[in-house]
């Protein structure tokens, strides 16, 4: 399709919030095309960064206006920002799509059922209590023989692609999915080196609660006191990626307030200030690092927001913690050894690698585990298709990307996949069908240190526990949950 296919109408300047000519640096070289996830699965110029920039320039010049066709081409964009990393001319496509998305939410640009589905998702997903209420009714179903039956015979096809995608992403739910069990003040286990805050995330705490618990244990074991405000909600990432700016602003303000109210004289989080607010999900980290702009003058945390891997590498793991790390087991139950290391591949979440420039830190942390060998996937930079709610609202494109990504990860022959973003982990698990475990690097570290056994890690991937000195090791008991 060419721009001529898009209805020509008076201008509606999408980019009014950006400096004039924000799209001008694009020289149409096409270097971004091979990295673009939507172009990869759709193969159409208008579903590539270059094509969308062309549309934006046409709108800016008054040659086009936003209509359903234009909206469709922007809706296929995953917001993965691989194009930003690839562009030699420094085009800030991330800023362009961020300025565009709010305009796509205008009435009449999407089919009413699509609007309703999006609105429903944004009314449930960023609210842990609402999400838990919905999940309660699905609790018996998740992981049950009925779910296996429905998946095996694809009976869910009868309900349409969106509901099919939702069902496929539904993980097995444990009791801890339904309550926040953390104390507000969590003292360090060893002499204190610092004091940090921890963001639990909205979807993560319900779908993968072991990540937060493992992170807490790793931080405490490294000498960090951790403050976890009990009334914290969503950071706003889910709505931010959908261009819902008012809702995002409200979430951001409430999250900042929950930390402010937890800390101070007589408050449950203690009086001393934090040195950083830590995040374990890359999508959340990306949005929270943009709070200064999003909050538009309202007060921010007053301390840096850091991804937990970034923080731990900057501060260093403690000697005691490093000494506690033990080899993990292969799926056949044999301990990893120098001759037979455990093969692990790290999946780069887009908002981590392209959004925050974090690539080496999670890998460095994983490599502190004895006899763990990292293998790199060939197309490590390709989006897995999760992208916030993309795998629910664009299920076909997302499923194709999920299949491509999983095939690439399988080629590494990794026995365990590390993923530091809840959306990616759910998407990868869906397409792996349970034959390779997916776990957050914090869960893997906590498991190796004998601090926490997450259900995400398969039974066969436990660690060996030092029972005494030397090689006298024994297996840990079965996993919690």
Q: Which residues bind ligand SF4 (CB under 6 A)?
A: 26-32, 35-38, 49-50, 53, 77-83, 86-87, 89, 91, 93
Closest separation in Å from C-beta 91 to ligand SF4: 4
Query: Tokens at residue 244, please?
Result: 């819902």
Closest separation in Å from C-beta 366 to ligand SF4: 26
* Calpha distance 33→20 (Å, rounded): 25
* Calpha distance 334→461 (Å, rounded): 9
| Cβ-based burial of 87 (10 A; exposed 0-12, middle 13-18, buried ≥19) | buried
Closest separation in Å from C-beta 355 to ligand SF4: 10
Residue whose CB is less far from ligand SF4, 34 or 331: 34
Residue whose CB is less far from ligand SF4, 77 or 278: 77
Question: Pairing between strand 342-347 and 372-374?
Answer: parallel
Query: Tokens at residue 280, please?
Result: 């374990």
Closest separation in Å from C-beta 174 to ligand SF4: 34
Residue whose CB is less far from ligand SF4, 78 or 417: 78
Residue whose CB is less far from ligand SF4, 38 or 448: 38
Residue whose CB is less far from ligand SF4, 283 or 441: 283
Residue whose CB is less far from ligand SF4, 19 or 145: 19
Closest separation in Å from C-beta 98 to ligand SF4: 10
Closest separation in Å from C-beta 33 to ligand SF4: 7
* Calpha distance 424→447 (Å, rounded): 21
Q: Nearest to residue 296, comparing CAs of 250, 233, 261?
A: 250
User: 341: which residues sit within 8 A by CB, 6+ positions away?
Assistant: 371, 372, 373
How does DSSP classify residue 335?
B
Closest separation in Å from C-beta 176 to ligand SF4: 34
Hunting for tokens 């709108």 — which residue is that?
A: 59
Closest separation in Å from C-beta 252 to ligand SF4: 22
Could you tell me if 45 and 1 are in contact, meaning their C-beta atoms sit under 8 angstroms apart?
A: yes
Distances from the Cα of 103 to the Cαs of 4, 16, 464, in angstroms? 21, 11, 54
| Cβ-based burial of 467 (10 A; exposed 0-12, middle 13-18, buried ≥19) | exposed
User: 178: which residues sit within 8 A by CB, 6+ positions away?
Assistant: 132, 135, 136, 139, 206
Residue whose CB is less far from ligand SF4, 220 or 286: 286
77 C-beta neighbours (distance < 10 Å), count: 25
Closest separation in Å from C-beta 360 to ligand SF4: 22
298 C-beta neighbours (distance < 10 Å), count: 13
* Calpha distance 439→345 (Å, rounded): 11
Residue whose CB is less far from ligand SF4, 38 or 458: 38
Residue whose CB is less far from ligand SF4, 205 or 354: 354
Residue whose CB is less far from ligand SF4, 79 or 283: 79
Could you tell me if 198 and 215 are in contact, meaning their C-beta atoms sit under 8 angstroms apart?
A: yes
Q: Nearest to residue 460, comparing CAs of 347, 362, 363, 332?
A: 332
Could you tell me if 261 and 232 are in contact, meaning their C-beta atoms sit under 8 angstroms apart?
A: no
Closest separation in Å from C-beta 70 to ligand SF4: 14
């Amino acid at each position: 399709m060419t721009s001529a296919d898009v209805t020509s109408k008076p201008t509606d300047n999408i980019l009014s919030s950006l400096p004039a000519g924000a799209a001008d640096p694009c020289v149409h070289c096409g270097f971004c095309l091979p990295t673009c996830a939507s172009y990869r699965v759709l193969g159409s110029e208008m579903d590539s960064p270059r094509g969308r920039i062309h549309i934006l320039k046409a709108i800016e010049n008054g040659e086009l206006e936003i209509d359903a066709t234009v909206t469709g081409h922007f809706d296929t964009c995953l917001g993965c920002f691989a194009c930003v990393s690839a562009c030699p001319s420094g085009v800030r496509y991330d800023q362009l799509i961020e300025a565009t998305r709010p305009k796509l939410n205008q009435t009449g640009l999407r089919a009413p059922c699509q609007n309703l589905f999006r609105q429903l998702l944004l009314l449930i997903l960023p609210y842990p209590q609402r999400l838990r209420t919905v999940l309660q009714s699905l609790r018996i179903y998740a992981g049950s023989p009925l779910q296996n039956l429905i998946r095996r015979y694809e009976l869910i096809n009868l309900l349409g692609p969106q509901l099919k995608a939702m069902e496929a992403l539904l993980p097995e739910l444990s009791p801890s999915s339904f309550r926040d069990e953390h104390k507000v003040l969590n003292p360090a286990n060893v002499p204190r080196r610092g004091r940090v805050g921890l963001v639990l995330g909205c979807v993560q705490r319900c779908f993968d609660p072991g990540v937060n618990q493992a992170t807490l244990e790793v931080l405490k074991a490294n000498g960090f006191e951790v403050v976890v405000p009990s009334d914290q909600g969503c950071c706003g990432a889910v709505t931010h990626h959908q261009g819902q700016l008012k809702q995002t602003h409200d979430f951001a303000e409430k999250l900042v307030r929950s930390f402010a109210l937890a800390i101070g004289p007589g408050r449950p989080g203690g009086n001393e200030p934090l040195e950083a607010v830590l995040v374990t999900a890359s999508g959340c980290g990306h949005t929270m690092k943009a709070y200064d702009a999003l909050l538009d003058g309202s007060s921010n945390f007053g301390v840096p927001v850091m991804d937990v891997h970034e923080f731990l590498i900057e501060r260093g793991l403690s000697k005691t913690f490093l000494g506690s790390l033990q080899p993990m087991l292969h799926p056949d139950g044999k301990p990893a050894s120098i001759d037979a290391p455990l093969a692990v591949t790290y999946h780069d979440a887009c908002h981590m690698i392209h959004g925050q420039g974090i690539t080496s830190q999670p890998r460095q942390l994983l490599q502190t585990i004895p006899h763990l060998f990292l293998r790199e996937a060939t197309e490590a930079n390709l989006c897995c298709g999760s992208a916030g709610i993309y795998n629910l609202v664009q299920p076909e494109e997302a499923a194709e990307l999920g299949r491509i990504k999983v095939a690439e990860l399988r080629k590494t022959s990794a026995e365990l996949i590390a993923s530091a973003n809840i959306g990616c982990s759910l998407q990868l698990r869906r397409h792996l069908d349970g034959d390779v475990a997916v776990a957050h690097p914090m869960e893997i570290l906590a498991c190796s240190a004998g601090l926490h056994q997450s259900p995400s890690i398969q039974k066969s991937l436990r660690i060996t526990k030092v029972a005494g000195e030397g090689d006298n090791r024994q297996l840990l008991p079965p996993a919690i949950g």
